[in-house]
Structure 1
């Protein structure tokens, strides 16, 4: 088989993983979660606030023009530019926007470079028909969404064709063999890493803004390059270009490279590997420093192992003689064992950080993909163990044929593992999903109850056993604040034999009172509220609320 055909065979295996990426690509998910807001989503406040705050589960970056507050009449209620401090976004509001329901539309970038978009509503005085958000404020173009994991897979494939082959060529390659074939493979890896990086920079613009693939302006790309994501991508490009210059002596002929060049290549390799975790899940991890290092180790081990297999299958087994293989295979076997050990260690640590629970491992898409990846990796490890046994039991002359068949199996499976990895980085890990679910589950009970003379809004928080805060707001039947002279309230749970307990109330404004009560047991509690509005007028309303 010629060098050209060997290279094509290797690329065919990688294309298998490429199509696996296309088939497994899921919708791009935001990896930060909105955990709280003030005013809260769906709540009714008595007076218009002068700002809205959004709290996310991790630090975020603003996207120019993508945060809006729309007033009940459809006008813009925000004024000035929003600010961000870590995971908290503050949006200043203009005064005099009026009563009714407001809509907050947001789109920010999470710490792992994914857009986080959504809407919340709150009402001033009383609810009304909410305004609507524009589609581009919350969407991701489906073409952009599909291309992102493809670009990531090409980057991983480029690493495989670059790191492992360079290491083998520098330390294990027989001097008598031509370097032309491996050189083509390495230049292909450089091209894939460079191309995937440029594609990632371009795709980040429509991904961030929610626009179409070809709706990208020069200013949008400038904004991407000015972001943390863009800075990391530029570092990756610079490292790859520098490595390309240093690789020319190594690829030009045996013994032409210097020890200094090899040392510099090692430094550049470490720098390049670090750029992947710096734009992914690890930066948003609860232990970001540990996650970044672990992810870099994971990528390095994968690149050395799989890239070495490519060199073994494509060039060394068919071309090296028995004496050369007798020296090469035992060393490669130790390299492979060390890479497998590093992969297992890094994979376990990553899973513990990102998944955190057995339920997250089994009942989340991210967790199930981890299990698929583990199963595939276990098969590959078993095949690799058999190949090591084969190397030890047979002579170098007997090994090449059976080893090539075994290595081809390893390459096919690991190509699919790369596809699963590319899909994983586009899916929210369970720790983020749990944060979003917790935020979406509000324990505040909010009810509006009416009598023939008034409407009363009641907020009970957290509606759980123990201390609870109660807020009361009085309105006329046409939703205007109603002054209250005196407030009274009781809480009872007759099913458990608990008679009415008086709730001490404090009058805050003419129409707003607050109180606290310790609820001893869970159940369907009955609350009674009396509001006296004059010497002779008062209204009493009753509601039930579930206390957990």
Structure 2
């Protein structure tokens, strides 16, 4: 017994050291970033429109949910230009605006929750008539996360993964492999610990989601904030998880009591259904829900978690209970079956990991040059080590040497557990890191290729929009205003475009009057370069203004 106690203390010391090492290095990583990105808006960012719109539309790279009070539109004078509550439909957010907005630059600030439960925030500007100094940025656009909240989120996820491992694997072993003569009190405590960790992790996740999405401190949370979280998709999934865990706790009592045998086949079947439901709640609050093939990703991620829980949970049972307590005859029956389970779990783990990585990374550049990709490679390297150790343990089981002397196998199992503890730590941070497919959208963001310039004389202000400012067909929009920014009626428009550097003489641009002060035209620009545009606007029988601008056509 003293030797066994020393072994267990050493095992706990090794695991504790590994966990501290994992968290010590990874907690210093960059803060979790949003996994959705703004990919378009109407009006477009940095654009100039002739008339005040009645709404602003924001389009994101994946579906989003609103955060109460975190979307605003500020007028040039700093007052609120939005009116009523914004609405969301999938990837599109619509913000109604007050009628009769004045000229100048407007600021749109937003903070929403992406499909994978992460906040995304930012600002765009657009101008009515002509640009002006934009109003000050709103605090809603700050996506910073409180340092304590940032540290607790992966820690909570780690506890949830650990609870899942201590729940699913041990229950499976108790139901199908546990010798009838052995008492179940020790494994029962392990399973109850798993239930406690999953429950605690879920409650902590619900609490942390409020300050995480709001950008607030850990305790700057109100009942209304928690109500908003519970009313979101994230909250609904977490409530389902809690319900499943509570139901499983009632069904597990016969399996965990005394020497066992009190459980019915119906109870075991119901536990299997609840286990599948519980596993599905993890991908439903993470990256898989925002995947291009969400259904496939959710199933694959759940399979990945199931394989880990069965394999690692089974290893915990082997190391902690079966190898020390079971006799040679019992081990001779248990170990070959467990070896086949482990091989199947490893195969499922590798398959699911490869498929999910291909979906989320998709390119070699994304694998090498992104934090997410490098974490994937770290997981693969660690998994290769574990698989190598597992192959050796399978060889020991095949030789049947472990039946009479389980000591070497216990040491190998301990090594497997140590490395998988590190893998779980990496996974806890991986789920907070944006995959390359969404990181690319975030870096690119909405891009407007419209060239907009405002030309002025003492008698008029002329706004010119050239779209898309690339070789080929382009649209020209002209808006005429008085020096005090009022619409100026134009009797006749003329325009030309030339590229002196390439010897292209002035090409006439046919213009069509849309309103008294607005004209449009189309022209084909055959080459890239610095084009010169010349505009003449006649405002009366004797008054006209000629203005010139250059624009880079790519």
Q: Give the TM interval when normalised to the shorter protein.
A: over 0.9
Determine if the alignment matches structure 1 residue 535 to structure 2 residue 537: no
C-alpha RMSD over aligned residues: 2.3
Contact 1:21-1:149 within 8 A present in 2 as well: no
Change (3 A) 1:180 1:15: farther
Which of residues 337, 341, 349 in structure 1 aligns to 2:343?
337
The C-alpha deviation readout for 1:379-416, integer Å capped at 9, x for no partner, is 21122122212322352346622222222222111111
Determine if the alignment matches structure 1 residue 114 to structure 2 residue 123: no
How far residue 279 of structure 1 moved from its aligned partner, in angstroms, is 0.9
Q: d(CA) in 1 for partners of 2:505 and 2:415?
A: 74
1:198-277 equivalences under 5 Å are 198-252=203-257, 253-277=259-283
Q: d(CA) in 1 for partners of 2:10 and 2:522?
A: 74
How far residue 237 of structure 1 moved from its aligned partner, in angstroms, is 0.5
Change (3 A) 1:43 1:247: same
Partner of 2:550: 544
Change (3 A) 1:97 1:160: same
Contact 2:107-2:135 within 8 A present in 1 as well: yes
TM-score between the two structures when normalised by the length of structure 2:
0.93
SS in 2 for 1:528: strand
Partner of 1:24: 26
Which stretch shows the higher mean deviation, 190-199 or 394-403?
Answer: 394-403
Change (3 A) 1:169 1:479: same
Q: d(CA) in 1 for partners of 2:377 and 2:62?
A: 26
The C-alpha deviation readout for 1:27-71, integer Å capped at 9, x for no partner, is 121111111111111222222111111111111111221111111
Which of residues 482, 505, 508 in structure 1 aligns to 2:511?
505
Partner of 2:415: 409
Q: d(CA) in 1 for partners of 2:346 and 2:102?
A: 64
User: Where do 5+ consecutive residues of structure 1 fail to align?
Assistant: none
Determine if the alignment matches structure 1 residue 92 to structure 2 residue 106: no
Determine if the alignment matches structure 1 residue 142 to structure 2 residue 147: yes
Which of residues 40, 54, 59 in structure 1 aligns to 2:58?
54
Which stretch shows the higher mean deviation, 311-320 or 187-196?
Answer: 311-320
Q: d(CA) in 1 for partners of 2:59 and 2:469?
A: 22
Q: d(CA) in 2 for partners of 1:14 and 1:251?
A: 27
1:94-493 equivalences under 5 Å are 94-139=98-143, 140-252=145-257, 253-397=259-403, 400-493=406-499
Contact 1:487-1:505 within 8 A present in 2 as well: yes
Q: d(CA) in 1 for partners of 2:297 and 2:9?
A: 34
Change (3 A) 1:177 1:79: same
Q: d(CA) in 1 for partners of 2:547 and 2:391?
A: 75
How far residue 5 of structure 1 moved from its aligned partner, in angstroms, is 7.9
Q: d(CA) in 2 for partners of 1:191 and 1:346?
A: 28
How far residue 362 of structure 1 moved from its aligned partner, in angstroms, is 1.6
SS in 2 for 1:173: coil
How far residue 268 of structure 1 moved from its aligned partner, in angstroms, is 0.5
Q: d(CA) in 2 for partners of 1:472 and 1:439?
A: 27
Q: d(CA) in 1 for partners of 2:21 and 2:121?
A: 29
1:63-82 equivalences under 5 Å are 63-82=67-86
